[in-house]
Amino acid sequence: DAKTTQPPSMDCAEGRAANLPCNHSTISGNEYVYWYRQIHSQGPQYIIHGLKNNETNEMASLIITEDRKSSTLILPHATLRDTAVYYCIVPSGTYKYIFGTGTRLKVLA
Amino acid sequence: SAVISQKPSRDICQRGTSLTIQCQVDSQVTMMFWYRQQPGQSLTLIATANQGSEATYESGFVIDKFPISRPNLTFSTLTVSNMSPEDSSIYLCSVASLYTEAFFGQGTRLTVV
């Protein structure tokens, strides 16, 4: 089973920040949190990952709570092209990615 | 990053036949995986493709139905055997190496009629 839970869907206005939450309450001390997105049934695209510090790259920011039991992916200025299903994943074993149901983000014009 | 090529990108097959999907990576990778995505669903891990040995299957998937080969560090195949309409899905290859994120192919869209 997936180690993460996410809301099934969210809407966001174009140009606004999209904040996507994820719960991973059973995460172990050395396990990373990864975020991917899938657009129109293409292959999942890597966004960002982190261990315990907040991370930022050209696509997004990742905020991980101090107890590491939850995290939030932030798309700072959502565009229509960010409409996708977003998956939060904590790999189990050796790089095995078990996908949950993800969050279907719809960016509204 | 790794560039993954999957072939075919899509196919329509008759029930009872088999289809072999190829996954080629542009660099040597440690781990290769195969996933299935049924219509409207999330990705489900089928198996880990092990180089030179039998694949490791997840619960609910068996070798007779989904035989997998991995002859080297850059190539793997997944065969969907004795297909039925319930096998209509997108099949995806994924790769990962030590200290890197996983990369996914664009998938093979299979329709069984």
> pLDDT tens digits, residue range B59-104?
999 999 999 999 999 999 999 999 999 999 999 999 998 778 899 9
Q: Are B8 and B21 in contact (CB under 8 A)?
A: yes
Per-residue pLDDT averaged across A28-37, rounded? 91
User: Is the model more confident about B59 or about A1?
Assistant: B59
Q: How large a percentage of chain A has pLDDT more than 90?
A: 82
Secondary structure, 3-state, chain A? CCCCECCCEEEEECCCCEEEEEECCCCCCCCCEEEEEECCCCCCEEEEEECCCCEECCCCEEEECCCCCEEEEEECCCCHHHCEEEEEECCECCCECCCCCCEEEEEEC
Select from B61, B68, B83, B85 the least CA-distant residue to B21: B68
For residue A1, is pLDDT > 80? Answer: no
One-letter amino acid for residue B110 of the chain: L
Per-residue pLDDT averaged across A3-23, rounded? 96
Per-residue pLDDT averaged across A2-29, rounded? 94
Å between A70 CA and nearest CA of chain B: 20
Please provide the distance, in angstroms rounded to a whole number, between the alpha carbons at the two ends of chain A.
Answer: 36
Query: In B, what residues contact A, Cβ < 8 A?
Result: 4, 30-31, 33, 35, 37, 42-45, 48, 90, 92, 94, 96, 101-107, 109
- Note the pLDDT tens digit of each residue in B11-20: 999 999 999 9
CB of A41 within 8 Å of a chain B CB? The answer is yes
Mean pLDDT of chain B: 95
Mean pLDDT of chain A: 93
Q: Is B99 left (phi over 0), alpha (psi -120 to 50) or beta?
A: left
State the pLDDT confidence band at A94, using cuts at 50, 70 and 90.
low
Distance CA B99, CA B101 (A): 7
**Four-residue CA torsion sign, B24, B80, B20, B52:** positive
For residue A28, is pLDDT > 90? Answer: no
